[in-house]
Structure 1
Amino acid sequence: MENSAQNIMIEAARERLFRDAKIDVLSATQDAENEKARAEVARSFISDTLTVPTPKMQAYAVQASLGDDVYHEPTAIALETAIARLSGKEAALFMPSGTMSNQIGIRTHLKQPPYNVLCDHRAHIYKYEVGGLGFHSGAAVTPVLPVNQHHLTLEDVEANVTLGTDMHYAPTEVIALENTLNGTIIPQNDVLAIAAFARKEGIAMHLDGARLWHVAAETGIPLSELCAPFDSVSLCFSKGLGAPVGSCLVGNADFIRRARRFRKMFGGGMRQIGALVGAAAYAVSNNLSFLPGVHALTRKLEKGLEEIGCEITSRAETCMVFFDPTSIGVELAELIERAAALPHPIRLSGSRLVVHIQTAPETVDDFLTLVRTLAEEKRAAGFVRLAQAVKTNGKNGIYKEVFVRTSLSRSL
């Protein structure tokens, strides 16, 4: 009787557990909510990471194989083989994120500290990866401000690299570039010059190529040629190409073998990842061809802002444009608030505007209309731009016109 009563209690407890464990993450209006999300993404300039899987991508992804990637996953192997071929490298390794791909790539290069990583002061690996170089690799970092204010050159590298055996300094063992960086393209000749210097000094070259697809699409330079100067490259599927997650680290076979162990150590040894890999494969196959259109739409946005009178602080070389609306009397906070209050809101978070494969062309038109309206309101309120002549540093003392931003009251 005692055992029978105990069994009844256990069975009742199981029933409660099973009942309480029923979880439904789908809402009753999930399809409608997904369509709303797609509509919102089409009107966002915040980032290209906000793009969402299309129904076709989802349908393709769920057909992927069901293997375990720690052991053998056919879909992952197929994608890695294809990306290795595209990049001109021996091997590739799928990662859940670009941050992991960068951090493991650099960690795999580094052997025994002390060591130093040289990069642009704006680099993602330095500014936006939570201090990972110090935490994961114990690496010192030399962030460099490019003299040309656009991209690192050999002269910048030579002026900041640490060579030799002086015990006071951590030697530079990795030079890490980023292409694109804030949407701008590093000229390939400058990349080759830096790579030749690095080879001569025995320094590894890593590329954060999260948006390298944009460079290939804009310049026509094959991906393999863009990757050739580097010992390792991180290529992203969610930035630019529209996959939900994922990056690939590429390099030679021995490098990727060692990186795979670090991936496991970092917690990236994934199991049945076929659906994620399938989405990434779909993104490369179907969305890469959209990038020239993205660049054209970005240039249209830039031209419109410039015609209205906004200052362009970083030009639209690929999918981003940076601007300053204070030249028309508008503060960014006001513009963000007015854009969010439109009947069909537009989302932006600052001076960086990112156009992506799901940006609706009418979003660009609506945004330019809003900026133009605000500019007209400020002029009606008395805001003017006064021009004055200032002497340049040119050899002939040539004068040029610059704008002094002044807000004048209506009474003036």
Structure 2
Amino acid sequence: MAERTVDLRSDTVTRPTAAMREAMARAEVGDDVYGEDPEINALEAEVAALFGHEAALFAPSGSMANQIALQLLVPPAHELLCDADAHVVTYEIGAAAAYGGISSRTWPAVGGDLDPDVVAAMIRPDGYWAVPTRAIAVEQTHNRGGGGVIPLATLRQLRDIADVAQVALHCDGARIWHAHVADGVPLAEYGALFDTLSVCLSKGLGAPVGSVVVGSADKIERARFIRKRMGGGMRQAGILAAAGRYALRANIDRLAEDHARAARLAEALEPFGVLAAPARTNIVPLDFTKATIDAPAFAAAARAEGVLVSVLGPRTGRLVTHLDVDDAGIDRAVAVLTRILRD
């Protein structure tokens, strides 16, 4: 029998476990556009409570959840500040401008090591014919920053800066569960720092679909309108919410296993000079600038041996651990990837 492929491209490639599928099959459903789906209502209440906010809204994707939140915070023709590698301006196909009429300006990409003073200096007040800043967005953990975790002290500084400038603070928390496990910061402590959050159920937690927008009751009431306008109003979607509820119960604490496996990968690859940064959580960032092979060639060679690697650019890539890759899968990936680099 052929060995199973080890897919390290992303933590979005996971498939529902048998127990998750059972939870989905048992879900009691209703019409969510009418607010009558019990599973969705329960999921939204649970996520809001986890982050210490009043309300939450289930959305089909992380991109939609982010864009709903940004439209809540930034009126058309006003400004969002974020880093140059932020998901909201890198992987959401210009949605902030296309759907929200939002102007964006970025600080240099530094992943989890951002400097609050740099952000503070960028904020534009009303007047002077400038585009006024209305919100700051940060990413926790940071995708293109190699799964980096923004320290709690830095986030508190940003909150103080936002309060003084009277601008909002949004967290793209697609992988905030990883930050919670890595640094031990309670989810409610993160939640208290942000006006809105988007959190993902299909990155790392293993649900097949869905993200959740978190905020105040009045913001979430408005968010339902925006979601419907964007085509995100679903009907008997409780089968998806049931998967998310199961993921919250079963798959947060186990993220530490993914972190340990990412650390094993990083340790094996470190002697070859291809690590872009330490593996803080479940992402191993790769930089082939000093290697004799480029990222596409490396990924092609690995694929030929049943290991899938994400290519981010000509010289950059990443490996992402998740619940569908066990210790045996990591052993195989280490053997294949180190052999390619040696050769």
What TM-score bracket applies, with the shorter chain setting the length? over 0.9
1:179 maps to a residue whose letter is Q
What is the TM-score when the length of structure 2 is the normalising length? 0.93
Change in CA separation of 1:368 and 1:93 when aligned onto 2, cut-off 3 Å: same
Counterpart-to-counterpart distance in 2, 1:239 and 1:143: 25
Read off the aligned partner of 1:296 and give its amino acid letter.
A
Which residue of the partner structure matches residue 366 of structure 1? 332
Q: 1:154 aligns with which of 116, 132, 141?
A: 116
Q: What RMSD over aligned residues (CA atoms) do the two structures have, in Å?
A: 1.8
Amino acid at match of 1:368: V
Corresponding residue of 1:239: 203
Runs of at least 5 residues in structure 2 that lack an aligned partner in the other structure: 312-316
Superposed CA offset, 1:210-263 (max 9, x none): 000000011111001012110000010001101000011111111111111111
Contact 1:233 1:249 in 2 (8 A): yes
| Equivalent pair of 2:170/2:197 in contact (CA under 8 Å) | yes
CA contact (8 A) 1:310 1:326 kept: no
Question: Which of 240, 243, 253 lines up with 1:289 in the alignment?
Answer: 253
Task: Give the Å deviation of 1:177.
Answer: 0.7
Secondary structure in 1 matching 2:203: coil
1:65 corresponds to: 28
Structure 1 residues 255 and 376, CA gap change in structure 2 (3 angstroms): closer
After the TM superposition, which residues 212-251 of structure 1 pair with which residues of structure 2 at under 5 Å, given as runs?
Answer: 212-251=176-215
Q: Is the 8 A contact 1:209 1:235 kept in 2?
A: yes
Decide which of 284, 297, 309 is 1:348's aligned counterpart. 309
Q: What secondary structure, in the 3-state scheme, does the structure 1 residue paired with 2:93 have?
A: coil
Letter in structure 2 aligned against 1:200? V
Shift of 1:75: 1.0
Give 1:125 shift.
Answer: 0.4
What is the TM-score of this pair, normalised by structure 1?
A: 0.78
Displacement, 1:327? 4.1
Does structure 2 retain, via aligned residues, the 8 Å contact 1:60–1:282?
A: yes
**Matched residue, 2:95:** 132
- Take 1:375 and 1:50, find their aligned partners in 2: how far apart are those partners? 25
Deviation at 1:326, TM superposition (A): 5.8
Number of residue-to-residue matches in the alignment = 333
| Alignment of structure 1 residues 277-356 onto 2, 5 Å | 277-307=241-271, 309-325=272-288, 327=290, 329-342=292-305, 345-350=306-311, 351-356=317-322
- Whether the 8 Å CA contact 2:111–2:148 is kept in 1: the answer is no
What amino acid is the match of 1:366? R
Deviation readout 1:116-139 (Å, 9 max, x if unpaired) = 000011000001101001011101
Q: Name the structure, 1 or 2, with higher relative contact order (CA <8 Å, separation 6+).
A: 2
8 A contact 1:153–1:194 mirrored in 2? no
Identity across the alignment (%): 37
Structure 1 residues 93 and 375, CA gap change in structure 2 (3 angstroms): closer
Structure 1: 5+ residue runs without aligned partners? 1-35, 378-412
Structure 1 partner of 2:138: 177
Contact kept in structure 2, 1:297 and 1:355, CA below 8 Å: yes
How far is 1:149 from its partner?
6.3
1:91 aligns with 2:55: yes
- Could you say which structure has the larger radius of gyration? 1
